[in-house]
Amino acid sequence: MFKTNYVKHVYEDLVKKNSNEKEFLQAALEILESLEPYVEKHPELEKNKVLERFVEPERFVQFRVSWVDDRGEVQVNRGYRVQYNSCIGPYKGGLRFHPSVNASIIKFLGLEQVLKNSLTSLPMGGGKGGSDFDPKGKSDREVMAFCQAFMTELYRHIGADTDVPAGDIGVGGREVGYLYGQYKRIRNESVGVLTGKGLSFGGSLARTEATGYGLCYFTEEALKTMKEDSFKGKTVVVSGSGNVAIYACQKATQLGAKVVAMSDSNGFIYDENGINLDVVKDIKEVKRGRIKDYLLYVPSAKYQEGAKGIWQIPCDIALPCATQNELDLEDAKVLVKNGVMAVCEGANMPSTLEAAKYFIEHKVVYGPAKAANAGGVATSGLEMSQNSMRMNWSFDEVDQKLKEIMTNIFQNTYQTAVSLGNAYDTLAGANIAGFEKVAKAMLAQGIY
Ligand code: NDP
């Protein structure tokens, strides 16, 4: 598995200390393995124990969140915030509300976020947080009560120049609004302490669209550079039907592709005529319903139970935008057999490491999450800039900056992969390009 003793020891030590955290170890293994060529050339990393410090979060906070539901019953959830690495800027990363959230998931997301934020070229460190609270089926009042209780603890750990959370699975505009309102109430200050805010209180135009749009800008640049091709005329499968999936579908369609399938955690829809996104938006953004309801609007479409079946659908481009480990080696083999030319990740770590390696081996254009979905946090960085300047940029200005950032992230990732001798190994390209800046900053700032 490892070629260098130093990296091997760092990973083995991590396994000893975090043996029950499988997602965290999976992300760490993927990163450490691909950093080996860089680490070999830089002995100062071992001398200063940079890898040991890089994998260990600066701070990990776990807290109780008690709130009262609509029946008057007290509910108790667990909240988390990991402040992973602040060497290139304030901690930055989303909050996830989903019943599966635990320390392992928060730490995997936090570690990935450190490299992702570095890749954006903006001055942002890495953090992540969330709770095992499930917003599904809760009333607006219950979601508000939970968010207020969550922020009543979180506020003491964050700040506009310290740590700036945003959304992720289960945390959209509604939740960010309630969280921001509670922070303001407690601190009596209006500052850019959260991103993804509503447009009337400091939010940025194009932040809602940014992750999905950015994913497509990255993919378009990758197709152009690596295959002399584009989205035009391609068949696309998008998993998920949340924020990232919806805007990936929108941009892919605008760029001339036909998106034929989308999913949620219950199953997927297939519409050979191309997904009607207005319908999906109505179901998911307005009614907070299930993707199956698409059939009520478009009876000619097909629905199948089980989210994973979506990878059986033949496509040119696959955009996994739901959740971690949703695409495994078996799915990768089917996609390659069906002639997929690009797989770019909107979700965080949606492909297992085996699946990612299979794509690379088979010369599929592969966009690893930390590079391909960095448009969300990059635009959050632009929201922070606007808040600091007390100014608002137009949609086009933000969208143009997003496009430039995604093009640069792809080129940086790709050129690093080329320099390593395999242009298709964008996994190593992204990890090394992101790590180099973090490692240099850590070395420059002394031992801490
Ligand atoms: P949303 O909550 O808006 O949507 C999540 C979507 O994924 C829903 O369709 C949900 O279905 C589906 N999903 C969740 N869990 C599973 C599962 N176990 N199996 C199948 N489908 C599932 O979240 P986002 O769109 O914001 O996030 C999606 C992914 O993108 C995550 O990995 C997130 O970390 C990543 N990401 C998000 C960014 C952002 O700006 N929002 C930025 C960068 C990455 P259901 O409704 O049934 O749960």
Beta bridge partners of residue 165, listed in sequence order: 93
Distance 346 CA to ligand 1 centre (A): 9
* Distance in angstroms (rounded) separating the CA atoms of residues 253 and 196: 24
CA atoms lying within 13 Å on the CB side of residue 42:
18
The burial of 289, by beta-carbon neighbours within 10 Å (0-12 exposed, 13-18 middle, 19 or more buried), is given as middle
Tell me the three-class secondary structure of 42-97, residue by residue: CHHHHHCCHHHHHHCCCEEEEEEEEEECCCCCEEEEEEEEEEEECCCCCEEEEEEE
DSSP run (H or E) holding 129? strand 125-131
Contact 428, 34 (CB under 8 A): yes
pLDDT greater than 90 at residue 1? no
Supply the pLDDT for residue 258: 98
Residue nearest to atom 32 of ligand 1 (CA): 347
Confidence of residue 212 (pLDDT cuts 50, 70, 90): very high
In angstroms, the CA 236 to CA 357 distance is: 21
Q: pLDDT tens, 244-299?
A: 999 999 999 999 999 999 999 999 999 999 999 999 999 999 999 999 999 999 99
The pair of structure tokens assigned to 173 is 């505009």
Cα(258)–Cα(211) distance, integer angstroms: 19
**Best substitution site from 117, 244, 246, 286 to test ligand 1's pocket, by max atoms within 8 Å of Cβ?**
244
Kindly report the pTM of this predicted structure: 0.97
Per-residue pLDDT tens digits for 71-108: 999 999 999 999 999 999 999 999 999 999 999 999 99
What is the pLDDT, as a whole number, of residue 448?
84
Coil, strand or helix: which one is 127? strand
Contact 179, 151 (CB under 8 A): yes
Please tell me the predicted confidence (pLDDT) of residue 272.
98
Cα 329 to chain centroid, rounded: 21
3-class secondary structure, 407: helix
Q: What is the pLDDT of residue 181?
A: 98
d(CA 33, CA 12) in angstroms, rounded, equals 12
Sheet holding 235-239, edge to edge: 302-305, 267-270, 258-263, 235-239, 317-320, 342-344, 365-367
Nearest CA to ligand 1 atom 2: 169
For the chain, give the percent of residues with pLDDT over 90. Answer: 99
Closest residue by Cα to atom 44, ligand 1, is: 347
Q: Which residues lie closer than 8 Å to 80 by C-beta, 6 or more apart? A: 60, 61, 62, 63, 101, 103, 106, 129, 130, 131
Q: Which of 116, 89, 54 has the alpha carbon at shortest distance from 346?
A: 116
Give the phi and the psi of residue 349 in degrees, each rounded to 5: 50, 45
* φ/ψ of residue 143, rounded to 5: -60, -40
**Res 341: pLDDT:** 98
User: Which pLDDT tens digit goes with each residue over 9-63?
Assistant: 999 999 999 999 999 999 999 999 999 999 999 999 999 999 999 999 999 999 9
Q: Is 322 in the pocket of ligand 1 (CB under 6 A)?
A: yes
Ligand 1 center–CA 41 separation, angstroms: 38
pLDDT per residue as tens digits for the range 123-137: 999 999 999 999 999
167 C-beta closer than 6 A to ligand 1: yes
Q: Which residues are catalytic?
A: 128
